[in-house]
């Protein structure tokens, strides 16, 4: 896009577009909507080959199937991508690209909650909220800001995914009325697809505590643009109270939960490690404490809580970490293979030489081709001369 064409777009009136019908595409190639679609098509072609995309055909297929179930007539308009990013977020581009972040899947507990999020995002597509936001950016901010939103996405640099996503995410900062309307639409769509309408309020209720301690950078994702507020929870509860769920949706709740959890089973450890990699300990501690209560996470959450304490090292944290490692060790087959190295490292730090040596030896036995073997062997020599 040239500077001249951006200048033309800035001159466009910021009028609210009408809803998009299924199969909608911009009719006028010279329109600002066509320009935005063009930018988004470029974004999508980069996204399709991005290393940040989770290449799991089964999981993406599941997301596609679920989004179609919720989208109904709009199914053919959607293309779902799963992005490896440890933040609670999903977004819907005006051309039908739906982006689901792994941090969202980590936090969602069942299929009904996910169906609501997908329905909520579909609402932004149907209501063409992104186009309105695009026009606002151009009329109230600057041409450069507009360009950086999508034009800078996925540039050729060593750094970039975070920066690109930050710009991309700013396109999806909707106002309160748009959010409320999307909640209503999302809840309605998921209910009609056979899901329990109380699930959306449960989702946001569970996120309230995290929102209170979240980092305030743009990559807080949906938290930044879709605040988890008590008012929102209340609104969703009121909406659900006015709907007759029927016997079907509640009786299938357990099956829907199992189906969702089985889809993400092989990814939980990686997503938890990614969550800790953010090094935002307060938020991660709140999340892990919640996941600890879920049978699907159980000792895996305990292990990553131990990792959090080991990394944070506030007063008392090393003892907390050791206790959590010990609890997690009750079922080592659920843990990543390096768990014994991590506990051994901590025991070494705490002066438990025999315990450290036992753990580190167990690690080398479990991972014969460990990339850090040379270091661990040196530690063992120091511990057991």
The binding site for other proteins (CB under 8 A) comprises 46, 49-52, 84, 148, 152, 154-164, 166, 215-217, 219, 277-282, 311-313, 341, 345, 348-349, 371-372, 374-375, 378
Instruction: Give the orientation angle of helix 143-150 with respect to helix 129-140, to 10 degrees.
Output: 140
DSSP 150-193: HTTTT-SSSS-HHHHHHHHHHTT---HHHHHHHHHHHHHHHHHT
What DSSP element (H or E) covers 21?
none
Q: In whole angstroms, how close is the CB of 20 to other proteins at the nearest point? A: 29
Between 109 and 307, whose beta carbon lies closer to other proteins?
307
Q: In whole angstroms, how close is the CB of 126 to other proteins at the nearest point? A: 30
Q: In whole angstroms, how close is the CB of 372 to other proteins at the nearest point? A: 4
Between 142 and 313, whose beta carbon lies closer to other proteins?
313
Between 82 and 181, whose beta carbon lies closer to other proteins?
82
Q: In whole angstroms, how close is the CB of 158 to other proteins at the nearest point? A: 5
The candidate with the shortest Cα–Cα distance to 215, out of 279, 272, 273, is 279
Between 1 and 161, whose beta carbon lies closer to other proteins?
161
Between 26 and 103, whose beta carbon lies closer to other proteins?
103
Q: In whole angstroms, how close is the CB of 379 to other proteins at the nearest point? A: 9
5-27 burial: b if 16+ Cβ within 10 Å, else e: ebeebbeeeeeebeebeeebebe
Between 273 and 330, whose beta carbon lies closer to other proteins?
273
Q: In whole angstroms, how close is the CB of 310 to other proteins at the nearest point? A: 9
The candidate with the shortest Cα–Cα distance to 353, out of 315, 385, 308, 325, is 385
Between 274 and 296, whose beta carbon lies closer to other proteins?
274
What span, in angstroms and rounded, lies between the C-alpha atoms of 203 and 223?
13
Q: In whole angstroms, how close is the CB of 276 to other proteins at the nearest point? A: 8
Between 68 and 362, whose beta carbon lies closer to other proteins?
362
Q: Three-state SS for 11?
A: coil
DSSP 208-269: HHHHHH---SGGGTHHHHS---HHHHHHHHHHHHTS--HHHHHHTHHHHHHHHHHHHGGGHH
Find where tokens 């959010």 sit. 179
In the chain, DSSP assigns E strands to 79-83, 90-92, 97-101
Ramachandran region, residue 246 (left: φ > 0; alpha: ψ -120 to 50; beta: rest):
left
Q: In whole angstroms, how close is the CB of 77 to other proteins at the nearest point? A: 27
CB count, 10 Å around CB of 92?
26
Max CA distance (Å), the chain: 78
């Amino acid at each position: 896009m040239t500077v001249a064409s951006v200048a033309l777009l800035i001159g466009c009136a910021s009028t609210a577009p009408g809803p998009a019908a299924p199969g909608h595409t911009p009719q006028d190639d010279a329109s600002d909507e066509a320009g935005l679609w063009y930018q988004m098509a470029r974004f999508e072609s980069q996204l399709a080959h991005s290393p940040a995309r989770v290449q799991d055909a089964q999981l993406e297929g599941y997301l596609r199937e679920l989004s179609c179930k919720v989208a109904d007539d709009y199914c053919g308009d959607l293309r779902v991508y799963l992005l490896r990013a440890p933040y609670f977020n999903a977004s819907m581009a005006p051309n039908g690209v739906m982006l689901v972040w792994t941090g969202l899947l980590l936090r969602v507990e069942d299929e009904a909650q996910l169906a609501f999020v997908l329905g909520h995002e579909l609402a932004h597509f149907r209501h063409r909220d992104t186009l309105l936001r695009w026009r606002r950016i151009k009329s109230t901010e600057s041409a450069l800001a507009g360009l950086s939103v999508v034009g800078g996405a996925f540039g050729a640099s060593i750094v970039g995914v975070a920066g690109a996503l930050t710009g991309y995410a700013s396109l999806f900062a909707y106002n309160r009325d748009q959010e409320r309307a999307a909640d209503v639409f999302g809840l309605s769509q998921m209910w009609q697809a056979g899901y329990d309408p109380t699930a959306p309020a449960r989702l946001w209720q569970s996120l309230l505590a995290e929102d209170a301690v979240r980092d305030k950078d743009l990559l807080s994702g949906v938290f930044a643009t879709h605040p988890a507020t008590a008012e929102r929870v209340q609104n969703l509860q009121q909406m659900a109270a006015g709907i007759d769920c029927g016997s079907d949706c509640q009786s299938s709740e357990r099956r829907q939960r199992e189906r969702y959890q089985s889809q993400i089973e092989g990814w939980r450890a990686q997503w938890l490690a990614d969550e800790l990699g953010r090094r935002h300990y307060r938020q991660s501690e709140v999340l892990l404490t919640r996941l600890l209560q879920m049978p699907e996470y159980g000792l895996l959450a305990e292990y990553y809580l131990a990792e959090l304490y080991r990394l944070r090292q506030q007063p008392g944290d090393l003892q907390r970490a050791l206790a959590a490692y010990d609890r997690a060790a009750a079922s080592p087959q659920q843990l990543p293979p390096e768990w014994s190295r991590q506990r051994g490292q901590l025991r070494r730090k705490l002066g438990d030489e025999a315990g450290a040596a036992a753990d580190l030896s167990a690690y080398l036995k479990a991972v014969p081709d460990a990339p850090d073997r040379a270091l661990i062997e040196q530690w063992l020599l120091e511990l057991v001369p």
